[in-house]
């Protein structure tokens, strides 16, 4: 017990704990206002784990991929060594209970257009910042993933106009090659914004 206290003491003295704790609360708070809610986010994370387990169990040599799950829709990005492995990976994802749709963002090894991680991360950050700056867009409802200059936008728009604004913002990002619109329009009357 004393040993753990001594290890944590420098963090308290340096003021590092407060930002870390606040960051966790901030992420939790943002999840609560997102259209999926906490239970939807938890369901998607559980599904992501199931899909990842299925892929690693049956294609243990294929590990150069990333999964994004939003309302049962699974986006896989990365580099497949060949067409056979790509097809098998997509089939294995579809076979997992709870997967509603599979979005193929895989490239083949040696295929032109290999992404640079920093460029894609910049594109994602730029779009997220733009969405939060636009008062006509409810930014917490959108999940953005960029791979190989292709921006994938998941989310729920409160209106068709809002959806179009989000897609337009994505196309305005410098260097974007393609935008994949995975945004649903909310049915019924939109809730009041807070």
| Among 163, 143, 145, 165, residue whose Cα is nearest residue 154 | 143
The DSSP output letter for 114 is P
The pLDDT tens digits for 21-64 are 334 434 444 555 677 888 989 999 999 999 999 999 999 888 88
Q: In sequence order, what are the beta bridge partners of 146? A: 151
Spatial neighbors of 30 by CB under 8 A, at least 6 apart, are 140
How far apart, in whole angstroms, are the C-alpha atoms of residue 2 and residue 8? 10
Q: Are strands 142-147 and 65-70 parallel, antiparallel or unpaired?
A: unpaired
The pLDDT tens digits for 119-136 are 999 999 999 999 999 999
pTM over 0.75: no
The DSSP output letter for 192 is P
Instruction: Compute the Cα dihedral for 115, 121, 124, 126 and give only its sign.
Output: negative
How far apart, in whole angstroms, are the C-alpha atoms of residue 18 and residue 62? 39
Dihedral over alpha carbons 191, 140, 104, 73 (to 10 degrees):
-50
How far apart, in whole angstroms, are the C-alpha atoms of residue 179 and residue 12? 44
CATH class of 37-108: alpha beta
- The pLDDT of residue 3: 42
How far apart, in whole angstroms, are the C-alpha atoms of residue 182 and residue 67? 15
Q: Of all residues in the chain, what percent carry a pLDDT higher than 70?
A: 76
The DSSP output letter for 63 is -
CATH class of 117-185: alpha beta
Segment of 103-107, 179-183, 186-190 carrying the highest mean pLDDT: 179-183
- Is there a common fold for 37-108 and 117-185? yes
As a 3-state breakdown, the chain gives helix, strand, coil percent values, each rounded to 5, of 50, 25, 30
What are phi and psi for residue 169, nearest 5 degrees?
Answer: -60, -40
Domain boundaries, the chain: 37-108, 117-185
| Among 88, 147, 148, residue whose Cα is nearest residue 112 | 148
């Amino acid at each position: 017990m004393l040993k753990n206290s001594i290890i944590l003491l420098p963090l308290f003295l340096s003021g590092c704990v407060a930002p870390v704790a606040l960051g966790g609360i901030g992420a939790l708070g943002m999840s609560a206002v997102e259209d999926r809610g906490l239970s939807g986010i938890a369901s998607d994370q559980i599904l992501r784990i199931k899909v990842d387990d299925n892929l690693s169990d049956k294609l243990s040599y294929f590990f150069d991929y990333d999964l994004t799950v939003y309302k049962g829709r699974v986006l896989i990005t990365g580099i497949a060594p060949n067409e056979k492995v790509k097809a098998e990976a997509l089939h294995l994802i579809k076979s997992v209970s709870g997967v509603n749709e599979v979005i193929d963002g895989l490239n083949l090894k040696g295929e032109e257009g290999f992404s640079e991680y920093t460029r894609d991360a910049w594109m994602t950050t730029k779009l997220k910042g733009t969405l939060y700056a636009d008062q006509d867009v409810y930014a917490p409802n959108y999940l953005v993933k960029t791979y190989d200059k292709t921006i994938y936008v998941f989310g729920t728009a409160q209106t068709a106009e809002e959806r179009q604004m989000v897609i337009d913002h994505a196309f305005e990002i410098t260097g974007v090659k393609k935008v994949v619109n995975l945004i649903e329009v909310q049915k019924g009357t939109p809730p009041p914004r807070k």
